[in-house]
Structures are given as structure tokens and as C-alpha cells.
Structure 1
């Protein structure tokens, strides 16, 4: 019986010390958070942010929506020019915008409560029923050829970049661009 009492006393002591340490950690963290907030409040009081009278960012977003997000933009063509490491250009003509693999049609995860009362993000399957960590997919784009509807995919990076236009580019560097997909600019000319 003495042994059980000693064991219970030892366990209670360990728990008490553990809870005390946890409370100190919370208290220390709260102090650090409070110090950060006080610093931020002081900066805001001494250097308030100006309120803009006009937002060029919102103007650009609205122009993007007028170009790509209205009902009459359905089927609109995009002209994708690629440049490789040698400075050579090629192009695709797509129906609609090229889409990054990072753009999802469904949420990547859902938040659930765990057994200890906290919250965790649980990954959800992608559109094709598989799971992915998403690493390395943001630089891969896909779309559909303007005349054939053929699926096309391209990856940017490793000294390759792309330029997107809503009409054929007249810039001199693109004048010798090679056709890389089934559709040529001439195929889709109005």
C-alpha cells in the first residue's frame, strides 16, 4: 500500500511540475505576444499608413475580370509565348487561360478537431482521386488547343518562361516564334 501511495505521490508531483512549466510557457508566450503588440501599436501611432485615394491594383484586377471573367469571354483565345534558355521563342494558341496545377477546383484540405480539442488540417483527395503534396506543381500549366481541343501542358522554370497575351503579340521578339501546338495564329485569325 505504501508503494502505491509513493507512486501516486510521484506521479502527482510530476504532473504538478509539468502543468506549472506549461503555465509558465503560456505566460512567457503571452508576454512576448503582448510585447510584439505594444511595439506594433507604437509604430502605428507614430507612423500611420496613408489611406489611398485610388487603387491601381483594383483597377488592374477589374480590367482582368473584364478581359477574362465576363460571360462574353467564354471561348476567348490566349496566346502563350514561351522563351527557352537560348532566347528562342515558340507559342501555343489556347482556348481560355492556361491554368496552373496549383489552381484547384476543390479545397485541398478540411479542418477537423482532434482528440485533444485542437484543430488539424486533413488533406483531401484531388480531382482525380489521388493525394498530392503539391510540391513542384505550381510551375506546370495546362490548357486546350484553340482549334483541336487537344490537351496541352507546359512547365516553366529551368531558364524557360512564358508571356501571355489576349491577342497575337506584335513585339519584334515574338515575330519569329515557332508554332508549338496544333493551332497557328493564322488558323484562328478572325
Structure 2
């Protein structure tokens, strides 16, 4: 008897779910336009399917980035160009980090009666941020550990390398932090 009741309840549940799904759809103009967009996409994919690559240069580049920067103690050479075209450089431990990067989530999702709300979370320093400051970078000097911060944009760019550059524009760059290229070469 229990088995028959379970089968009956399962059948009723499946039927109710099917009826519920069909009753949720309507033929609004947005639904029609979404259907036309999806139909067009399906037709294009059928006629022009995505090609398949034998090899991914993007994956190789990402893996090489990981191999380059995934080592403790790796130095970065940050060359900054100002609006006059002049270059200066910093030598940092590891990569410069955008100030908007965090180790903890900056938002949390919370279910409400009206749906899902995205709520801000305080940062590591106990304050809230709007997620700005992605144009500001910081890091630590290669030999002294001194904190360094710089911004990019508005006529200032930076170029990042994993070794000193010898091209003329970089070779004549002025030292902007406590550590010089000569200091690093002496340590090696």
C-alpha cells in the first residue's frame, strides 16, 4: 500500500510541477523578443559552430605567468612613465597589488522577501569601501620592505617586468624607491 501511495504522490508531484511551469510562462513582448534572440542564436550556432583549437596560446601564457610569478621572493621591476615621457622605476617584492583587491569578500548575498539583496561587507580595516582605488597600486621595496604606492591614469602609465630592462627609455629611468638596480645586482 505504501509503495502505491509513493508512486501516486510522485506522479501527482510531477504533474503539478509540469502544470506550474507552463502556467508561469506568458507571451509578453519581452518573451517573444527573447525567444527570437535565442532562435537566431541557435540558428547561427548550427550554421557556424565554434571551431576547436588543437592548442591554446592563452592557456600557455597563463601558465607561464603562474610559473614566473608563483615563486616566493620574485622581484618586479615597475617602470612608470609620466606625461613628459620621463621614466622612473621601483623594485618590489612580488607583484604590485591594486588597492581594490581584498582577502575577504566585499559583499554578501542575503535572501529577502523581495528576492536576493547584495549587501556590502567591511574590509580588513573594519571600514566599508565602494570598490574604488583600482587605479592605485601598492607593494613593498625589494630590500628595505618599505611600503610604496602609486597611481596610474591621467598621463601616467606603468610597465611591469620580471627583470631590469635595457632598452634606452628604461635604462635611463631614475630610481624612485629605496632599492636601485645596482643594489640588486650586487646582492646576486
User: Do these two structures clear the TM 0.5 threshold for a shared fold by scoring above it?
Assistant: yes
Which segments of 5 or more consecutive residues in structure 2 lack a partner in the other structure? Answer: 1-23
Q: How many residues align?
A: 163
Question: Residues 87-166 of structure 1: matches in 2 within 5 Å?
Answer: 87-116=85-114, 118-135=115-132, 137-166=133-162
What is residue 170 of structure 1 aligned with on the other side?
166
Moved over 3 A (4+): 23-28
Distance 1:64 1:91 in 2: 21
CA shift digits 1:113-155 (9 cap, x unpaired): 0122x111111111211111123x1111000001110000000
TM-fit CA distance, 1:25 = 8.1
Match of 2:178 among 168, 178, 182: 182
- Once the two structures are TM-superposed, the CA of residue 27 in structure 1 deviates from its matched residue by 3.3
In structure 1, stretches of 5+ residues that fail to align are 1-22
| C-alpha distance in 1 between matches for 2:91 and 2:175 | 9
Which stretch of the first structure deviates more once superposed, 121-130 or 88-97? 121-130
TM-score by length of 2: 0.82
Q: CA deviation at 1:29?
A: 2.8
Task: State the match for 2:15 in structure 1.
Answer: none
